[in-house]
Structure 1
Amino acid sequence: MHTMEELKLTGNHLKGSRPLLTFSSNFEKDAYWKLLKEMLLQIFETPKDHRKAKPFHDHVFVFSIVDDHIWFRNYQISVPHNESDKLPRGSLDKMTMIEVGPRFCLNPIKIFGGSFGGPTLYENPLYVSPNQIRALQKKKKAGTFAKKIKAKTRRKMHEMANPLEPDEFADMWKD
């Protein structure tokens, strides 16, 4: 559950500044997490001596693993703006982190040995495709419809096996 205050994402960082990339210690557990860490490094890391990159860091990309999903958060590094409150180099006491956004969650499904094919190096055993979920929902709906049809046929068979006796007062008020 998320509150609206949590999702305001009031921070802001400068365009072109380089992010610090941080990874949780879970990325060192298994070989496929190490591979995914390297892939994320190559995707999000600023190339060395890139002509449009600024020479400072003012935001942090955080990658963490929770429930076999990779969670991404983007934080701004905030320091005091007063000239008298300037921090000496290396001091982290007064620095704060403000979430900037976006935030997202990655669910790795398969890792292949080649690009878009080859031997499967990793397959997520917990992943259920949306098509399978839709098929199960359709079967469930079809099951309820089949139950209704069976109930109707059972009722008709019961009525045929147990006919009602004729009512002796049915014609009483007809003249």
Structure 2
Amino acid sequence: MAKRKAPEAAEAGSNKAARKGQGQQAPKRQPAAPAAAAEPETAAGHVTPASQGFKNKEKVLLLSSRGITYRFRHLMLDLGQLLPHSKRDAKLDTKSERGVINEVADMKGCTSVLYFEARKHKDLYLWLAKAPGGPSVKFHVTNVHTLEELKLSGNHLRGSRPVLSFDRNFEEQPHLQLLKEMFTQMFATPKRHHKSKPFFDHVTSFSVVDGRVWLRNYQVVPDPDKKKEAAEGLALVEVGPRACLQPIKMFAGSFGGPVIYENAEYVSPNTIRSMLKRQQQGKYVAKVQSRQERKQHVAANPLPKDVLGDVFK
């Protein structure tokens, strides 16, 4: 028994036969449009997408050593607020080697490290390192003032992008040029970071005075006495934190390697404390010596006998 054709198939076949009888051809299928334009090739033959540009994936690892004091810990937390692209980790044992930090940075996906190393609950050393290849810098941190310690009126938006301001002295010496580049990579918030906000409302200043780097943070506020539209109508109000960084050594590697710079004017705080103890010890020695000299002088120069000394006895 013959099968019946569906009415739609029968109608399509009749239309096709009618077009064939009239000498007309069926319309040709148009080629599909390309999904994207051809990507240019480089000289090496690699294809680079035109729309893909440089993306800053800078991440900073913040960690400290054991034995850190409350003031140093608050300084680290304040710097973490200025760096929305930072990640924190647990405290590191001071007895372990600092090379372990490179492994921690690799696990966290960080390219830079800020390591706060405390010694004797008194001294603070700051390591700036590019993991894992280097270079790295060791600073002695003094004049530490945190946000909670200073009663400053500034209050900028948390997570906003900073304007980095550098002194002209950073261009004079090679090691200062390297420091400027490292500060720029670590403290500049990557563009379109998911934790940052697209505003520039504070300025992070780095100045070189007496061979030390002075760190300051200011909020940009409009000056009510001047026009807001003009560039002069802006004022700076200090927010904090404050710190003074004295470079000690610079290494070619991360937390070690060949020394590429050494500060000859640096004096360790242990040496300063020992000198102060010697000065205090010298005062006591001089006092005892003066007593002995007085006794010897009295024994060598006796007073003559007084004739009227026994009158009232």
Q: What TM-score comes out, normalization by structure 1 length?
A: 0.75
Letter in 1 for 2:272: I
Q: Does 1:109 align with 2:248?
A: yes
Shift of 1:113: 2.5
What corresponds to 2:4 in structure 1? none
List structure 1 segments (4+ residues) > 3 angstroms apart after TM superposition: 162-174
Q: Distance in 1 between matches of 2:273 and 2:157?
A: 43
What corresponds to 1:122 in structure 2? 261
Distance 1:164 1:19, change over 3 A: same
Distance 1:103 1:168, change over 3 A: same
Q: How does 1:1-175 map to 2 (within 5 A)?
A: 9-79=152-222, 87=229, 92-167=231-306, 169-174=308-313
Instruction: Tell which deviates more after alignment, 156-165 or 65-74.
Output: 156-165
Distance 1:149 1:8, change over 3 A: closer
Shift of 1:19: 0.8
Distance 1:94 1:147, change over 3 A: closer
Q: Distance in 2 between matches of 1:12 and 1:158?
A: 69
Q: Could you report, residue by residue, the CA deviation over 1:8-49 in whole angstroms, capped at 9, with x for unpaired residues?
A: 532221122111112122111111101111221222111243
SS of 2:267 mapped into structure 1: coil
Distance 1:97 1:141, change over 3 A: closer
SS of 1:109 mapped into structure 2: strand
Specify every segment of 5 or more residues in structure 1 that has no aligned partner in the other structure, as ranges. 1-6
**C-alpha RMSD over aligned residues:** 2.7
- Which of the pair has more CA radius of gyration? 2
What is the count of residue pairs matched by the alignment? 162
Specify every segment of 5 or more residues in structure 2 that has no aligned partner in the other structure, as ranges. 1-149
Q: Distance in 2 between matches of 1:169 and 1:80?
A: 88
